[in-house]
Amino acid sequence: MTSNRIPVTILGATGAVGQKLVVLLAGHPWFAVRRLCASDRNAGRPYQEAVHWIEPTPLPSEFGALVLDSADADVAGTIAFSALEADAAETIEPRFAAAGYWVVTNARPFRLAADVPLIIPEINADDVRLVDRQRAARGWRGAIVANPNCSAIILASALVPLERAFGIEGLVVTTMQAVSGAGYPGVPSLDALGNVIPHIPGEEDKIERETCKILGRAFPVSAHAHRVPVVDGHTLAVSVRLTGNPDPADVTAAFHAFEPPAAVAALPSAPERFLHVRAEPDRPQPRMDAAAGNGMTVSIGRVRACPVLDIRFVAVGHNTVRGAAGAAILNAELLVARDLVSRPT
Amino acid sequence: MTSNRIPVTILGATGAVGQKLVVLLAGHPWFAVRRLCASDRNAGRPYQEAVHWIEPTPLPSEFGALVLDSADADVAGTIAFSALEADAAETIEPRFAAAGYWVVTNARPFRLAADVPLIIPEINADDVRLVDRQRAARGWRGAIVANPNCSAIILASALVPLERAFGIEGLVVTTMQAVSGAGYPGVPSLDALGNVIPHIPGEEDKIERETCKILGRAFPVSAHAHRVPVVDGHTLAVSVRLTGNPDPADVTAAFHAFEPPAAVAALPSAPERFLHVRAEPDRPQPRMDAAAGNGMTVSIGRVRACPVLDIRFVAVGHNTVRGAAGAAILNAELLVARDLVSRPT
Amino acid sequence: MTSNRIPVTILGATGAVGQKLVVLLAGHPWFAVRRLCASDRNAGRPYQEAVHWIEPTPLPSEFGALVLDSADADVAGTIAFSALEADAAETIEPRFAAAGYWVVTNARPFRLAADVPLIIPEINADDVRLVDRQRAARGWRGAIVANPNCSAIILASALVPLERAFGIEGLVVTTMQAVSGAGYPGVPSLDALGNVIPHIPGEEDKIERETCKILGRAFPVSAHAHRVPVVDGHTLAVSVRLTGNPDPADVTAAFHAFEPPAAVAALPSAPERFLHVRAEPDRPQPRMDAAAGNGMTVSIGRVRACPVLDIRFVAVGHNTVRGAAGAAILNAELLVARDLVSRPT
Amino acid sequence: MTSNRIPVTILGATGAVGQKLVVLLAGHPWFAVRRLCASDRNAGRPYQEAVHWIEPTPLPSEFGALVLDSADADVAGTIAFSALEADAAETIEPRFAAAGYWVVTNARPFRLAADVPLIIPEINADDVRLVDRQRAARGWRGAIVANPNCSAIILASALVPLERAFGIEGLVVTTMQAVSGAGYPGVPSLDALGNVIPHIPGEEDKIERETCKILGRAFPVSAHAHRVPVVDGHTLAVSVRLTGNPDPADVTAAFHAFEPPAAVAALPSAPERFLHVRAEPDRPQPRMDAAAGNGMTVSIGRVRACPVLDIRFVAVGHNTVRGAAGAAILNAELLVARDLVSRPT
């Protein structure tokens, strides 16, 4: 099984997103984790000793014994998944890209750069072509390909049928975000328990700008970000103004009609349903729906008219799978499917 | 202390709001609870036996031994606080009003009737004059005076300075509501724990219509209602369009400048600050701010520009105090202050 | 796949345990759900309309359309899984047993009857022989086979190696139980959120008596039962006195050495590991460990000396899988493996 | 009011316990906070800028503007409340005691020293006499007086009537502890939400040893410590062996009969009821009972026979008030009442 898999590196392997990458890549049909990189402080230690494992899924034994490496770009490699913090990503990712790696990153720093593809394969797979411009401009042998912020991914996924069918003129989105999105140790329990925190530093700006970049067009987005006492799964309440003022039945039909490109739907991590439109009056809910499609499906419900803009609805997605580690893996699968990364023979 | 207090009745005394009325009226300077009414099933039992007490404050001993009465309007009285469920309120409240009671109600059925005052004393105290029309039209000796839905109270309180200073043209509000708003047993813990429920039956309609009635003018309101795992305190994320497109500094100044009428601010249950505008980037929060002003202050924060409408902000209020029992008591105090209810001499 | 599966009935299919049975039996290699019974109120309605589905796993489509039947024992059948409430179980289960069904029950009423096997297959599979006595005494063509209370299952599973290796002389157990154990609607969120409820009606008695029956010998058990704000997974803190006063290393070795009978370990629902002894200082935890072994593994940790009795440890198990629906299914599998129930040919 | 109050210093004023001391000492009749000390990093900054305020009660304005001082023992003073972390306490507290301060500490390092009083005034007020020996042995002009660990305080408070009436021969206690006991940021929300953590470093040893020191006699204590998703209020499930094997009615009578010394009951922070024995089957609960007696009452319930030891019961107390800051303040009040600290004239 491993013989023809592509060896991959994980940068920032001990963090929350790094751990999720390890879990999701265990047994991946195309990728084989060969190298786990961590801060210099942890380099040289077996992964299982250095990591404070927070996944309910046990640490796969084949990775526990791997000795952590420092994030040295001189070691040859093909794909480097980056789960680095922003500061580290800003300096380390360019080194790996320069050295020839496909840096498939969940980190923030390069997402809005004009020459960096910010990809949700079901939406804008063709934006990977930006890497040609990126390489030319930056003189890199490799490239950086980013996935958006967790909330922006869920929002853009829910919006793409509306943008395609009608055109978006503006929207107000209120997020109720799970604590796993803040990593570990992340949100102190004294702040989270029985509480709502109406502020996540930088989040609203990310949602507003990244959503437009993914959908390929600027329109006004107003985001209100909140942390709520939920472990996994972001909930988004959206009011949107659409060209032509469609009614809820039109919009529901557009949600149902949306199909990602067949080549994307065939990727190993793509869910059976990209979007699941629910008819129940009280769904989606994070506890019930975040894990839909192995965490890769975005669930939508309560599509109804909005007295101020045009349409209101609710969307729920898994913030660390579709919103982070799973997003990065799907992006890497896209690179392979497009023959940008070649498979071992 | 009791000699010159006004004897009051509580309808629906065993429910969650009824219990909060009992707690808040214990030791009230103007009102003395003399009669607790419950369903026929519980009539004849001592209150302390019939009630499943859910308040952290112990049941005041002077009320525990009171024998529950059925909701018979033939017993003479002055003020009846109604914490009835909607179905019961619809039939029982008119009987008490017809019999001469001032029915100060937290229940829904009569809130939107054109001749029923829907009062937040700091906002529209003069609407109590509607009772003249109500009595004439209905032939009642007493009257019904209602307080709004818990979320509508918090929203209207936060909006009134903006309506007065600029004029509201429309707004989108997302609520994150505490489970205590659903009463007891209310929301099952399997639904609430670690979850967001994006639906509260009837709530969005109440918020949209009651807010306009309180503020005295119709404008489009779009409400998204959610239940979150918080015990007490509703959080509202608001985007609002204002006449003249004021900037955040103007709006913050308007919040600070708003003063309720002096006669209202002097009522026993009125808080020192009707609105508290917070400067911290991550406030208000329900765990920290719901109890401000003994639960009667509405806290506001994160006033900032909205890219879609004009202004965004967050408001937090205590849903069972300012949003229910405390609201009713303040309304009753208003009736006394206006000499509509006379004090014993 | 279905041709040679045994048709089974679920009694109490709309409740929480009934739903878990439906989820766990979907795709079962030996059993095919053919009949879902519910109260007369729901009989005649499609399952998907009558059930308030609380499982995060979607309702399997092959069951959603099944029309609910009333619990009529005259319809022929082989195995009836009972997820009935105690009252209903007391009258309905004997009717099904009399009519020839193997009633595999999670309900309480018959667990302590001397002629009813109370089975955890890894511990006391041979107790199924009690059914001969049961049938003779009661004149039934079928029989009732019960699984223990959720906490008793986890406790007895953790204790069996100690009983076999040393002998138990007494124990004190404190449970911290998940809300899913109370079914739906179950525990009100106002009681559960941010709270500990130190009382679960009847639970302590069940734990104390059922544990002894499973292990086949009477010894003093003192149970302290609590509800905590956890969705799934009971945590038990145990202090136990053992014959011979073994030290923690001896006890840990006994935990590791325990092997269920090979025939039981080979059952389809038996986990790879019956017990998982964890070495981390802060495990097991319900959020991390309840789902181990697809919810059928009991996790043990913090084995250490007890200054009052002999040994202390912590055990965590999944209360609705190993502690209820999964327990019943494993019992039914045992009946098949022992040829008490014959497979279609 | 302030003229004849005793000026006090708070060491470790920015931490969670330091903040609670500030809240509880605001308006104290005997003590006036004059100096707030913090780490050198924060010295020189106004308290309101340096502190991350986590109390729902607003920071009292008279303290917000106080400039933080470093913990320099050369500044003269009378009482220093210590909310220091253990490491800091170990070096700083002796310096203040040597310099003449009464160091009233919540920190761990000196609690078990033979010459340091470990005081719960209702139980062992006379142990303050140990300070004579302490001063003689250590050559200090001042002294250190400690309060126990939060769980040990609640446990010892519940046990003292049983020790006095019957004599304790041993006990098993399982704690379900609130997250506020871990300070801030303390327990990560990913660990706390919907979970039980069966380990609190060092806690079991503290409970076992401090309880015996407070009660003045060694007996075996077996503690099982857990963190649960509760904000405030520790719940303890206790099984205890008592001399003479009293029955639950005897024990309940002993709980009711216990009276703290009158001089202690008259201290400003002493609650009306030291112990509150509840008769409800499901109380005490932390959400309902932790705040009893302004957080200084320990609530007891479910007194019943234990099949293994003699008696079982549940106790709940407020971990940061009775279990920390309030405990220290009560100890300081005791020093004043005993004229060990003199009041300004």
CB distance A228–B228 less than 8 Å? yes
Mean pLDDT, residues B122-127? 98
Burial of B136 (0-12, 13-18, 19+ CB in 10 A): exposed
Asked if A94 and A46 touch (Cβ cutoff 8 Å), the reply is no
Sequence letter at residue A25: L
Q: Name chain C contacts of A190, Cβ cutoff 8 Å.
A: none
CB distance A286–B195 less than 8 Å? yes
pLDDT at C138 over 80: yes
Chain D closest CA to B2's CA: distance in Å? 25
Q: What is the pTM of this model?
A: 0.97
pLDDT at A2 over 50: no
Give the per-residue pLDDT at A3.
63
Give the per-residue pLDDT at B61.
87
Q: Name chain D contacts of A20, Cβ cutoff 8 Å.
A: none
Q: Which residues contact A140 (CB under 8 A, 6 or more apart)?
A: A94, A97, A98, A100, A134
List the single residue in A with minimal CA-CA distance to D230.
Answer: A193
Q: With cut-offs at 50, 70 and 90, classify the pLDDT of residue B129.
A: very high
Compare CB distances from B194 to D193, D291, D292 and report the shortest one's residue.
D193
Give the per-residue pLDDT at A230.
98
Q: With cut-offs at 50, 70 and 90, classify the pLDDT of residue A46.
A: very high
Q: Name chain B contacts of D292, Cβ cutoff 8 Å.
A: 58
Give the per-residue pLDDT at C4.
86
Q: Enumerate the active-site residues of B.
A: 150, 234
Residues B190-205 have pLDDT tens digits of 999 999 999 999 999 9
Give the per-residue pLDDT at C344.
80
Instruction: Supply the mean pLDDT for chain C.
Output: 96
Q: Name chain A contacts of B239, Cβ cutoff 8 Å.
A: 172, 222, 224
**More confident: D170 or A27:** D170
Catalytic (active site) residue A52: no
pLDDT at A166 over 70: yes
Mean pLDDT, residues C86-113? 98
Asked if C158 and B160 touch (Cβ cutoff 8 Å), the reply is no
Chain D closest CA to A85's CA: distance in Å? 18
- Cβ–Cβ pairs < 8 A, chains A and D: 59
List residues bridging with B304 in a β-sheet: B312
Q: With cut-offs at 50, 70 and 90, classify the pLDDT of residue B2.
A: very low
Q: With cut-offs at 50, 70 and 90, classify the pLDDT of residue A61.
A: confident
Mean pLDDT, residues A150-158? 98
Asked if A211 and D175 touch (Cβ cutoff 8 Å), the reply is no
Q: Name chain D contacts of B291, Cβ cutoff 8 Å.
A: 56
Compare CB distances from B56 to D58, D193, D288 and report the shortest one's residue.
D288
Q: Enumerate the active-site residues of D.
A: 150, 234
List the single residue in A with minimal CA-CA distance to B240.
Answer: A308
Cα–Cα nearest to A17, from A279, A339, A327? A327
List the single residue in D with minimal CA-CA distance to C224.
Answer: D237
Flag the least confident range among A57-61, A228-232, B320-324: A57-61
Residues B98-109 have pLDDT tens digits of 999 999 999 999
Give the per-residue pLDDT at C290.
98
**More confident: A307 or A76:** A307
Mean pLDDT, residues C63-75? 93
Cα–Cα nearest to B95, from B43, B130, B134, B143? B143
Q: Which H or E run contains C257?
A: helix C248-257
DSSP assignment letter at A323: I
Residues B155-182 have pLDDT tens digits of 999 999 999 999 999 999 999 999 999 9
Residues C242-300 have pLDDT tens digits of 999 999 999 999 999 999 999 999 999 999 999 999 999 999 999 999 999 999 999 99
Q: What percent of chain C has pLDDT over 70?
A: 99
| Best residue of B189, B199, B227 to probe chain C, by most C CBs closer than 10 Å | B189
Q: With cut-offs at 50, 70 and 90, classify the pLDDT of residue C3.
A: low
Residues C167-194 have pLDDT tens digits of 999 999 999 999 999 999 999 999 999 9
Residue-by-residue pLDDT tens, chain D, 345 positions: 446 899 999 999 999 999 999 999 999 999 999 999 999 999 999 999 999 999 999 999 889 999 999 999 999 999 999 999 999 999 999 999 999 999 999 999 999 999 999 999 999 999 999 999 999 999 999 999 999 999 999 999 999 999 999 999 999 999 999 999 999 999 999 999 999 999 999 999 999 999 999 999 999 999 999 999 999 999 999 999 999 999 999 999 999 999 999 999 999 999 999 999 999 999 999 999 999 999 999 999 999 999 999 999 999 999 999 999 999 999 999 999 999 998 877
Q: Which residues contact A197 (CB under 8 A, 6 or more apart)?
A: A187, A191, A226, A227, B282, B285
Neighbours of A, requiring at least 3 CB pairs below 8 Å, are: B, C, D
**Tokens in use for D133?**
């020996």
Residues in chain A: 345
| Interface residues of chain D, partner chain C, Cβ below 8 Å | 170-172, 174, 176, 191, 193-199, 201, 208, 220-222, 224, 226, 228-231, 235, 237, 239, 241, 281-288, 301-302, 306-309, 312, 314
CB distance B291–D231 less than 8 Å? no
Q: What percent of chain C has pLDDT over 90?
A: 95
**More confident: A302 or D2:** A302
Neighbours of D, requiring at least 3 CB pairs below 8 Å, are: A, B, C
**More confident: B222 or D2:** B222
Q: With cut-offs at 50, 70 and 90, classify the pLDDT of residue B81.
A: very high
Chain B closest CA to A302's CA: distance in Å? 8
Asked if D174 and D224 touch (Cβ cutoff 8 Å), the reply is yes
Asked if B228 and B196 touch (Cβ cutoff 8 Å), the reply is yes
CB distance C198–D174 less than 8 Å? no
Mean pLDDT, residues A176-188? 97
Sequence letter at residue C223: A
Give the per-residue pLDDT at B3.
63
List the single residue in D with minimal CA-CA distance to C174.
Answer: D174
> Which three-class secondary structure state does DSSP give residue C250?
helix
Compare CB distances from B194 to A198, A208, A230 and report the shortest one's residue.
A230
Active-site position among C28, C150, C276, C318: C150
**Tokens in use for B237?**
């994320």
